Amino acid sequence: MQNPLRSFIGTMILVLVLTGCAVGPDYKKPPAAELQEWKDKEDPQIKAEPTDFSQWWAIFNDPILDSLIQSAYEQNLTLRSAGVRILQARAALGFAVGRLYPQSQTLGGGLTYNSLSETTGGSQFADLSFSEANLGFDAAWELDFFGRFRRNVQSNIASLEATIASYDDLLVTLTAEVARVYVLIRTFENRLQIARDNVKIQGRSLQIAEARFQGGAVTELDVAQARSLLKDTEASVPRLEASIRQSRNALATLLGKLPGEVDSMIGESGPIPNPPAEVAVGLPAELLRRRPDIRAAERQVAAQSPLIGRAKADLYPQFSLFGSIGFRANTGGSSKADGTGGSSLGDVFSGDAVQFIGGPAVTWNIFNYGRIKNRVRIQDARLQQLEINYQETVLRAYREVEDAMVGFLRTQEEVAFLAESVKASKRSVDLSMIQYREGLADYQRVLDTQRSLVIGQDFMTDTMGRVLTNLIAMYKGLGGGWEIRVGKDFVPQQVKDEMKERTDWGELLSPEKLKMPATEEEALKWRSPDW
């Protein structure tokens, strides 16, 4: 036994030396364009300096919005599903790690009874009926000489990180969408109030027109025109009421609630939040580190790169160690000629019943007709696509911020002009009504001024809402909001309890198992098998 043991130790030392090799390219972060400064950095409202975007919605000083976003973070179902996908990715990593160790370990045993016919049983002196018992352990280990399994582990680690980044990106979108829908609701409410106020004004104008018609001062045309304008304005009321209800229903879905369940949180109506006098946008270079979709795209590249090496490893031979050790005994072996006794099943655990088989093995796919090489090419093409996608994601991120920034600044200028226009329209309505009562102007002028006022007030209110939606889009483009999950579980305890009832998740449901390793020592823990 001494020589085989030495050979086995020598083989294992050789394994430890050779398993440091892994074919295929090592990951390199792809290059991407980087914006040096924002185009509107000179605007007094823009502060291009490092800032904290973790709770950017606090700039509106609206407690209702704060509570809505917190509720969405805790109860949004799409976000919960994304959290479970992180657990799935962590389990996939555990599966990949497990393949670094002996891939097959089997414990087996059996008890069989055999009865042979005299025509096939061999010698007439041999036992034709006997029982056999066996118990053994088999193992096989494909050694990772060329990094086939280690590349898989690297890919799964990057995939897990990409899944976490996708969760963060969804959280950025969720917080921005809750804020946007909330602003939309307040905008609709204010437009509805303006419509109702104008209905009252136009109702009084109709009464004046009817009184003058009955007095013979004007024709029935004035009455018909006044009624037409009134009914047009009244028609906008149910349309706006429907928009409010639909927006509230959309908000309820974002919060994981049924329609109507958010009404108590929002209240009947409220003002449109005011934009801040100054907006901190940070530095363009920070965008690449902060935006989760950029991190997700970069991690997808990192997950794909090792798969080239994984495919290349199939071009090389695969070395394995296999072994089987066990006990075997049967009731055969007695000879009718000399009358000696045979073994018994009780001898199965005796030293003479031990048997061992083991050794190295090698397989090599030599004639594969280019299949393996083309698999390598497929993985390389996928890597190139993902690198291009990463670069495009960076460009799109900068564009989204710039678009939202210029929209935010220019719509504020638009609101200022519209405010002056509405002010002039109100004065025109007052003057036209005075002149109409005194018979100095016809009713067409009254109609024109009142119609202009309705359109101007509605458009100005809608534009005030667009100022805020542009601001929200800018903060979404800057990638703020995902930081609220730092230090918290990706999946609520209630969901984890449901999963524990169905499946043994071990320690994978603990937050520590999902924490990104900061040191090589922590990374080694990720590479340990989940016994």
The answer to whether the Cα torsion of 365, 370, 375, 380 is positive or negative is positive
Q: Are 191 and 461 in contact (CB under 8 A)?
A: yes
CA distance readout (Å), 301 to 304, 307, 379 = 5, 10, 11
pLDDT at res. 517: 67
In one-letter notation, the amino acid at residue 108 is G
Listed residue (140, 144, 166) closest to 153, CA to CA: 144
pLDDT at res. 13: 45
108, β-bridge pairs:
136
Structure tokens at 402: 């710039």
What topology does CATH give the domain 26-100+145-308+398-526?
A: Outer membrane efflux proteins (OEP) (1.20.1600)
Mind listing the pLDDT tens digit for each residue in 387-422?
999 999 999 999 999 999 999 999 999 999 999 999
Q: What is the CA radius of gyration of the chain?
A: 39
pLDDT at res. 20: 56
pLDDT at res. 332: 62
Look-up of token digits 């799935």: 88
pLDDT at res. 230: 92
pLDDT at res. 145: 83
Domain residue spans of the chain: 26-100+145-308+398-526
Q: Could you tell me whether strands 129-142 and 318-330 are parallel, antiparallel, or unpaired per DSSP bridges?
A: antiparallel
Structure tokens at 150: 């280690």
pLDDT at res. 364: 85
Q: pLDDT below 70 — which residues of the chain?
A: 1-20, 118-128, 332-353, 516-531
pLDDT at res. 101: 79
Q: Are 141 and 320 in contact (CB under 8 A)?
A: yes
Predicted structure pTM score: 0.86
Q: Are 353 and 383 in contact (CB under 8 A)?
A: no
Distance CA 525, CA 531 (A): 13
The answer to whether the Cα torsion of 209, 212, 216, 217 is positive or negative is negative
Q: Which residues contact 195 (CB under 8 A, 6 or more apart)?
A: 233, 236, 237, 240, 454, 458
**Length reported for the chain:** 531
In one-letter notation, the amino acid at residue 66 is D
CA distance readout (Å), 45 to 166, 412, 415, 463, 471 = 32, 11, 16, 18, 12
Distance CA 516, CA 500 (A): 23
pLDDT at res. 212: 83
Distance CA 247, CA 265 (A): 14
pLDDT at res. 527: 66
Listed residue (79, 49, 301, 292) closest to 178, CA to CA: 79
pLDDT at res. 148: 87
